[in-house]
Amino acid sequence: MARQDAQREWSDHYWWSADGVRLHARIYDGPPTAAEAPPILCMPGLARNARDFEALAPHMAAQRRVIVIEFRGRGESAYAKDPMTYVPLTYVQDVVALLDELAIARFATVGTSLGGLVSMFLAASLPGRLVGAVLNDVGPELEAAGLDRIRDYIGAGGSQPTWMHAARAYAELNAAVYPDYDIHDWLRITKRTHRLTPEGRIVTDYDKQIAAPLRLAGDQEGIDLWPAYRALGDAPVLILRGALSDILAGTAAAKMQATLPHATLVEVPGVGHAPTMDEPAARAAIDAWIAALPAA
Secondary structure in 3-state letters for the chain: CEEECCCCCCEEEEEECCCCCEEEEEEECCCHHHCCCCCEEEECCCCCCHHHHCCHHHHHCCCCCEEEEECCCECCCCCCCCHHHCCHHHHHHHHHHHHHHCCCCCEEEEEECHHHHHHHHHHHHCCCCEEEEEEECCCCCCCHHHHHHHHHHCCCCCCECCHHHHHHHHHHHHCCCCCCCCHHHHHHHHHHHEEECCCCCEEECECHHHHHHHHCCCCCCCCCCHHHHHCCCCCCEEEEEECCCCCCCHHHHHHHHHHCCCEEEEEECCCCCCCCCCCHHHHHHHHHHHHHCCCC
What pLDDT shows up at residue 266? 98
Say what the pLDDT of residue 212 is.
93
The pLDDT score that the predictor gives to residue 219 is 47
Max intra-chain CA distance, the chain: 53
Start and end residues for every CATH 3.40.50.1820 domain found in the chain: 2-144+210-292
pLDDT at 158: 87
Q: What is residue 157's predicted lDDT score, i.e. its pLDDT?
A: 76
Contact 135, 108 (CB under 8 A): no
Assess contact for 67 and 41: CB atoms under 8 A: yes
Give yes or no for a contact between 97 and 17, defined as CB atoms under 8 angstroms apart: yes
What's residue 91's pLDDT? 98
Residue 222: per-residue pLDDT? 66
pLDDT per residue as tens, the chain (296 positions): 444 444 679 999 999 999 999 999 999 999 999 999 999 999 999 999 999 999 999 999 999 999 999 999 999 999 999 999 999 999 999 999 999 999 999 999 999 999 999 999 999 999 999 999 999 999 999 999 999 999 888 988 789 999 999 999 999 999 999 999 999 999 999 999 999 999 999 999 999 999 999 887 554 556 899 999 999 999 999 999 999 999 999 999 999 999 999 999 999 999 999 999 999 999 999 999 999 999 99
State yes or no: cis peptide before 274, omega within 30 of 0: yes
pTM: 0.95
Choices 3.40.50.1820, 3.40.50.720, 3.30.750.24, 3.40.50.10470: CATH for 2-144+210-292: 3.40.50.1820
- For position 223, what pLDDT does the model report? 87
